[in-house]
Structure 1
């Protein structure tokens, strides 16, 4: 209840906390420890050993310790324990892998394969343009309704994780694709179902498109475009963030657009593509430019 009301945690997060606490409780039973007040530094070290014996990854272990640290913080604040034994435990964070993203040439192939005379093609075009233009999550895209789009200022109202709300702008390509789909393709799809819905993206039967349906659509588009890379909605989110940062957007702005609560979540996108790396190098390093040697030659002649 505390997590749901005070922390506004999602059901998934609450379930993860419950699983972590249940795992720790089973460990305490095995160690014949019946009181949470009796847990000390030594107990925790033994628990960590048990977790590593199970071959759990560093990230999984860190999540469990984080859950227990929060649990004991709550217990301490409510005078249920004298102190929090987990504050003395620090775990090295696992290195975050560089997120996969698409290059411009790969994106162009996806943008060119849809039949814009067909309602389904118009929907698919609007979907991929929206995901790339805004970087929103597939769950956020699936929840969007007609009233959430303001074409007068090219902005979308997004309901994110934990019911957090934000406004995200979109560009001309997404605007054209969305207007075509909403005014034409969506109307035709809507006629196929007697049930009322305000969802923007509809399936072939006229009902709201599910997140799973969106993923299947992308898979079919990739297959049709003959791309060898795996594309999922989150990869378009990665691509959005990578391209924004590579083109000079500041980290705080991208954080706001993505709906990240912590800046550290956005920093994983600060990797630099090979093309961008070469461009910056060739334009910044004195001895990388051919005219550097020309100037040296001119100076030696004088």
Structure 2
């Protein structure tokens, strides 16, 4: 009995064995791998979270993760605001830190989650920039035969506006994703989610013309041929930076002075559909939005329909 008592006392004195403490940087890498492998987040989202956590770890310094309290996290957010980060970037950093601490709690690295009490500042919803229909026509007609790859550029711009796809989705479109006879294409969005998107006749004509006249010529410039639809001058898939530059170039040529980007065509696509009477849920599905709230921002952009309804039905319009 005495011997047993001594062992019990020994256990009480020593306590359970502790895990070796990991550095914040190594935990960061494990967390990003968790986001990729188990949460299946898009690469761009993982990269953004990685940048936010790099700032957090630099601010953390020698402090231990399990010693952080909500007051410390509030100080970190204040530092971000002092560094003149945009409100959207600060709010994303809040989400990144919250998700990071949930992971730490899941792994047993921390016992309490102070980030649960962390409040993000409320963002003003920014109304997205939208092109008028006349501007869209001028923009889509901007590629000319004097341009080296005008067939590709014309098809690319038509696809951006016809489908409302994101720049990354257009860059990763493959030949096998096209169902032009059925007037559909399959695109891969955030988190690897796939959806079928309708495509109009003008975009289909532009794609067919590009494939018949130029794409094979670009494809043979490399030993290993890529299946992506839009190729660069060296036969590699067109990337988002190249696409962004082309959109800027053709916007200037079309005389569009507002700050336009590939996302402007996505905004215009959604706004013009809603103005034409499309159902909000259908637009949500075409855009690949997970939440209807994300799509609802476009209802604040196009007021012409509301004016028409008001004039038609209000007795004193």
Kindly tell me: are residues 281 and 179 of structure 1, through their superposed partners in 2, closer, same or farther at Cα, counting changes over 3 Å?
Answer: same
- TM-score, normalised with respect to structure 2: 0.78
Kindly tell me: are residues 18 and 198 of structure 1, through their superposed partners in 2, closer, same or farther at Cα, counting changes over 3 Å?
Answer: closer
| 2:295 alignment partner in structure 1 | 266
Contact 2:251/2:260 (<8 A) preserved: yes
Determine whether 1:160 maps to 2:189: yes
Determine whether 1:80 maps to 2:112: no
How far apart in 2 are the matches of 1:121 and 1:50?
A: 47
- TM-score, normalised with respect to structure 1: 0.81
| 1:225 alignment partner in structure 2 | 254
Gaps (5+ residues) in structure 1?
289-302
Give the 3-state SS of the residue equivalent to 2:149 in structure 1: helix
Displacement of 1:194 after TM fit? 6.1
Determine whether 1:283 maps to 2:312: yes
Determine whether 1:199 maps to 2:228: yes
Displacement of 1:3 after TM fit? 1.1
| 2:35 alignment partner in structure 1 | 3
* 20, 27, 42: which one aligns with 2:52: 20
Q: Could you list the per-position Cα deviations for residues 91-140 of structure 1 after superposition, in whole angstroms to 9, with x for gaps in the alignment?
A: 23211211111111111122334457998333222222111110111221
* 168, 172, 175: which one aligns with 2:201: 172
| 2:15 alignment partner in structure 1 | none
Taking only aligned residues, the RMSD between alpha carbons, in angstroms, comes to 2.8
Contact 2:162/2:199 (<8 A) preserved: yes
Kindly tell me: are residues 87 and 212 of structure 1, through their superposed partners in 2, closer, same or farther at Cα, counting changes over 3 Å?
Answer: closer
Displacement of 1:263 after TM fit? 2.8
How far apart in 2 are the matches of 1:205 and 1:26?
A: 40
Question: How many pairs does the alignment contain?
Answer: 285
Displacement of 1:64 after TM fit? 2.2
- Superposition pairs of residues 1-302 of structure 1, within 5 angstroms: 1-29=33-61, 33-34=63-64, 36-115=65-144, 120-190=149-219, 196-204=225-233, 207-288=236-317
How far apart in 2 are the matches of 1:188 and 1:92?
A: 52
Displacement of 1:274 after TM fit? 4.4
Gaps (5+ residues) in structure 2?
1-32
